[in-house]
Chains A and B, each alone.
Chain A
Amino acid sequence: MLKANVTVTLKKSILDPQGSAVEKSLRSMGYPVEEVRIGKFMEVRLAEESRENAKEIISEICHKLLANPVIETYGFTIEE
């Protein structure tokens, strides 16, 4: 069984009000924070042994469902 760690984040060009709010409050707490962007982290366990196939499947489901290409980008790593 393989596991994919998927992260989905808003595209750079999209305003992230949640991230901005956290960023502002961290700064007001005195931390030297430049920017905060908030995204999602997902663990997907696959009934699949081949890493090559797993990559293909994960790319496909990211594109189809896990991320909305209009506003989001995604990345992932595959592990045992």
Chain B
Amino acid sequence: MKIGIIRFPGSNCEVDVWEALRFLGREPELLWHQDRLRQAYDLIVLPGGFSYGDYLRTGAIARFSPVMEDVIRFAREGGLVLGICNGFQILTECGLLPGALLRNASLHFRCAPQWLRVERADLPFTNLYDPGELIQIPVNHGEGNYVIDEAGLAALESNRQIVFRYASAAGEINEAGNPNGSLANIAGIVSKEGNILGMMPHPERVVEKITGGIDGQPLFLSLVKTWERRIRYGT
């Protein structure tokens, strides 16, 4: 499985994603933002961090990196793209995913374990979770407050594009479980076609028990399973 992790100036979770995938038995590759995608990839990851210092707006400048031209094409052709935290912000900035991410309603950066409810378990990213499963994946951001206009939200709902919602420990989708003020407790969304996932929480931080949990494992392993099937059945 060919996995490319894009490293922008200011990215700082690219190595964590790389280590997480290696822990799960994969050999991912780090790609420099000024390079081009020279081969066929099975998955591209846009990692967390502060690309270009998050100056101007989070993710705003990274989208103009040379490699992003290729990533956008790859995504439009149906390639699997996973954007985590800053990667999600970049995906909304370049229009691959709808909506935008604003400053947390508390105005404070927040690093904490977070409960999520899995809304879609039928995607290449989530097929090893159960529908409605409650999982714990940490958030770590200052600007994760998801917004979109009414029509946009209606479209997300009717197309079943909402993949993860912030939840309370009891699994309720309410204000108490919402760490940043996101509309409809949205923590992660997928493109209409189901191949581009953007999420604020960091699954790469919870693949090893020793660092606090393994609820992020199924996400990466779902992608591996999808790829294996594709190889085996050519679908």
- Chain A contacts to B: CB under 8 angstroms: 10, 13-15, 17-18, 21, 65-66, 68, 70-71
- Chain B contacts to A: CB under 8 angstroms: 56-57, 60-61, 64, 92-93, 98-100, 102-107, 145, 147-149, 181
The tally of CB-CB contacts under 8 A between chains A and B is 37
| Minimal beta-carbon separation of B136 from chain A (angstroms) | 26
| Minimal beta-carbon separation of A8 from chain B (angstroms) | 9
Please give me the residue from chain B that is nearest to A64 by CB atom: B64
Which of B56, B57, B100, B103 is in CB contact (< 8 Å) with A18?
A: B103
Which of A65, A66, A71 is in CB contact (< 8 Å) with B147?
A: A71
Please give me the residue from chain B that is nearest to A70 by CB atom: B100
Complexed CA–CA distance, A14 and B107 (Å): 15
Interface contact A13-B149, CB-CB below 8 Å: yes
What DSSP secondary structure best describes chain B's contact surface?
A: loop
Chain B contacts for A70, CB-based, 8 A: 92, 98-100, 147-148
Interface contact B64-A65, CB-CB below 8 Å: yes
Interface contact B64-A14, CB-CB below 8 Å: no
Q: Give the top 8 A-B pairs by smallest Cβ distance, nearest first.
A: A70-B100, A71-B100, A17-B105, A17-B107, A68-B57, A68-B100, A17-B103, A14-B147
Chain A contacts for B145, CB-based, 8 A: 17
29 contacts between A and B (CB under 8 A): A10-B102, A13-B149, A14-B102, A14-B147, A15-B102, A15-B105, A17-B103, A17-B104, A17-B105, A17-B107, A17-B181, A18-B107, A21-B107, A65-B56, A65-B60, A65-B61, A65-B64, A66-B56, A68-B57, A68-B60, A68-B93, A68-B100, A70-B92, A70-B99, A70-B100, A70-B147, A71-B100, A71-B102, A71-B147
| Minimal beta-carbon separation of B15 from chain A (angstroms) | 28
Chain A contacts for B56, CB-based, 8 A: 65-66
